[in-house]
Structure 1
């Protein structure tokens, strides 16, 4: 009764597995919300040298719930079934560290842990464990590999980017052909990569020109010097600001569904691409970019005309009208950009 009065009906469950030299950590942390200091922790691990469970505030309760099993994973499953009845979860996060491959497979196959929302890596996580997680890729789940450890350059997995959110601190193993096939993803974050500016330019054009939605947010740390021309080749751009360097970007095709922003941080050689295909968003920016494309086409047409061409005078008049319309659109776009967001 007191728990129901003090805490919500559903909780966040953080489940951790990590095999260290002298102990096997298997913890369940129950939180009312993600930033709450009120955490209830159930320790289902064991001391490997003494071959006995680790001391815990709920030692007797855990011993009763876990049964006679000596496996930390089995103990965790038994205890978690009880906890999830008493304190049901609405979000489950898995934290995976150094594990034997067979243990990683068992954890990811366990029915008790199948409803996880996010998997986060811990120091020492092995490539085999990461593959076990990637096997369970889902566009409603997230995977975060934020550790400093490097993955083998020949590491690969066909589902590596089939998550709502996927981040890899070390991304030197990632190949561009796989990125070009991503679909309906919310965010991809790559740390250190082997991609040069030309590679990123290819990805930017694909994100803007593809018929399907690829990715709303993409960030990467690029290799080599920054070459703006290589990144924006074949894309219509308008500079928004200088620090950090930001551009409004759009495909060359008229009335394109997609529009986005390119942000470059030269201090750490990283850039971010954000793209939307919702025509109800960025309406002022869309109008401006369409006028800008018309201006580009008109300038090119005037340049190729002979001085005696009778249509040139009419096109000059149209150019002035277009310029006035573009100035009005610029003011609307600036007002939109300068409006504080909630």
Structure 2
């Protein structure tokens, strides 16, 4: 049975019940009055009109219509081709759940009919009997439903949600053997604690072009995996297990978020120096809990420019081997949080990048000068160039020395 109510021209309503259509008229804001009752089979509508009707349906109604016949399945598929959905498959000790939404608003959830859900958009598996096989396991049946759905309602992004403390090594191996899951873009893990062997299975399987988040879930402190910081983005809310050597393996990562951790100020200082000297694009954005960090130690021995924008203080450093700069920020509004953002000089902090170049040139010339005879012609030339660089720095900086410059905005 399919129930559908939607407005047309703000006055006329179409009600569909068991694939028969009835027109209603909106009398006023207080209610709906049936004026002239036009009732006819949905199948009798022209194909273009049927397609428009399907586009006005919500996701559960589209699925219920598609299951009635192969012809209706094809109709829903054609009408939905330009409306890709965000899919998520949630796996715990019960029957898996498939959710589908558009722009973050959940539009449908498919779960075992025996589970209690306080949501009108849930479709129980008993309503999808034509798509089920009695010989299949719960996981196999949900996989089959997913295969049907993705052919009818296109995917924009697929996520896998795992409840860690309800997983077994056997169930995870069965799950990861499903070919359709290789198209996922994002893995979300939550729960009390995840076992090391299970997390290793997941990371072994997950492609480095995908994203992974582990939230509200303890990770054993002795855990280690070579790919832990090789994914497109990573979020580890419990990062007590993370060591500085793990961070040094970062490469082409869009975003890194670390929650509680044992990294020291000395560790972070080493990490920043490694980024400055590295040939690799390690990350674009990095955030970590910084409750135990001392910023003077974090920034020790770095050549940097201090500046401020919109009330926020920034320290800017420059990469040695690539045309990149990094902003270093300690945010204290909620909890202490260290944020690192990487830019090209054309994107942001252009003036600061220029100052860093001047400081770098000045330091290089001063080093050359110290190795020369003071009264030589070359020494006098270097002295003149150093004075010229000093004047340029004076014109843009309120203060500078060998390591630090300050620009006031």
Is the structural similarity TM-score above 0.5? yes
Alignment equivalent of 1:321, drawn from 376, 388, 404: 388
Q: Following the alignment from structure 1 to structure 2, what is the Cα–Cα distance between the partners of residues 133 and 256?
A: 34
The CA deviation string for residues 136-168 of structure 1, in whole angstroms up to 9 with x for no partner, is 233321001121x32111112121112100110
Structure 2 counterpart SS, 1:173: coil
- Is 1:3 aligned to 2:37, yes or no? no
Residue 208 (structure 2) aligns with? 139
1:229-308 to 2 correspondences below 5 Å: 230-241=297-308, 244-251=312-319, 253=320, 257-266=323-332, 268-276=335-343, 278=344, 280-282=346-348, 283-296=350-363
Q: Following the alignment from structure 1 to structure 2, what is the Cα–Cα distance between the partners of residues 266 and 29?
A: 37
Give unmatched runs, 5+ long, in structure 1: 48-54, 332-336
Q: Following the alignment from structure 1 to structure 2, what is the Cα–Cα distance between the partners of residues 195 and 286?
A: 28
- Is 1:27 aligned to 2:97, yes or no? yes
The CA deviation string for residues 173-232 of structure 1, in whole angstroms up to 9 with x for no partner, is 11221221222211221111111000001111111211121122222224634142x222
Q: Following the alignment from structure 1 to structure 2, what is the Cα–Cα distance between the partners of residues 113 and 288?
A: 49
- Is 1:76 aligned to 2:142, yes or no? yes
Residue 319 of structure 1 and its aligned partner are, at CA, apart by: 4.8
- Is 1:88 aligned to 2:154, yes or no? yes
Residue 14 of structure 1 and its aligned partner are, at CA, apart by: 1.4
Q: Is the contact between residue 108 and residue 122 of structure 2 (CA under 8 Å) also seen in structure 1?
A: no
Q: Following the alignment from structure 2 to structure 1, what is the Cα–Cα distance between the partners of residues 199 and 239?
A: 13
Larger Rg: 2
Q: Is the contact between residue 45 and residue 72 of structure 1 (CA under 8 Å) also seen in structure 2?
A: no
Q: Is the contact between residue 305 and residue 352 of structure 2 (CA under 8 Å) also seen in structure 1?
A: no
Structure 1 counterpart SS, 2:151: helix
Give unmatched runs, 5+ long, in structure 2: 1-50, 58-79, 116-120, 399-407
Residue 246 of structure 1 and its aligned partner are, at CA, apart by: 1.8
**Matched residues, number:** 316
Residue 160 (structure 1) aligns with? 228
Q: Following the alignment from structure 1 to structure 2, what is the Cα–Cα distance between the partners of residues 88 and 310?
A: 73
- Is 1:16 aligned to 2:90, yes or no? yes
Q: Following the alignment from structure 2 to structure 1, what is the Cα–Cα distance between the partners of residues 338 and 318?
A: 17
Q: Following the alignment from structure 1 to structure 2, what is the Cα–Cα distance between the partners of residues 275 and 59?
A: 47
Question: 1:239/1:65 Cα in 2 relative to 1: closer, same or farther (>3 Å)?
Answer: same
Alignment equivalent of 2:181, drawn from 101, 113, 117: 113
Q: Is the contact between residue 250 and residue 260 of structure 1 (CA under 8 Å) also seen in structure 2?
A: yes
The CA deviation string for residues 89-135 of structure 1, in whole angstroms up to 9 with x for no partner, is 12101111122221122222211222111111232452344333211
Residue 71 (structure 2) aligns with? none
Alignment equivalent of 1:179, drawn from 247, 265, 272: 247
Q: Following the alignment from structure 1 to structure 2, what is the Cα–Cα distance between the partners of residues 174 and 309?
A: 54
Q: Following the alignment from structure 1 to structure 2, what is the Cα–Cα distance between the partners of residues 329 and 256?
A: 24
Task: Tell me how large the CA RMSD over aligned residues is.
Answer: 3.4
Q: TM-score, normalised by structure 2?
A: 0.67
Residue 258 (structure 2) aligns with? 190
Structure 2 counterpart SS, 1:322: helix
Question: 1:45/1:103 Cα in 2 relative to 1: closer, same or farther (>3 Å)?
Answer: farther
Q: Following the alignment from structure 2 to structure 1, what is the Cα–Cα distance between the partners of residues 226 and 322?
A: 30
Structure 2 counterpart SS, 1:262: strand
Residue 39 (structure 2) aligns with? none
- Is 1:151 aligned to 2:219, yes or no? yes
The CA deviation string for residues 274-318 of structure 1, in whole angstroms up to 9 with x for no partner, is 234x46544443222101223445677889999999988876654
Residue 51 (structure 1) aligns with? none
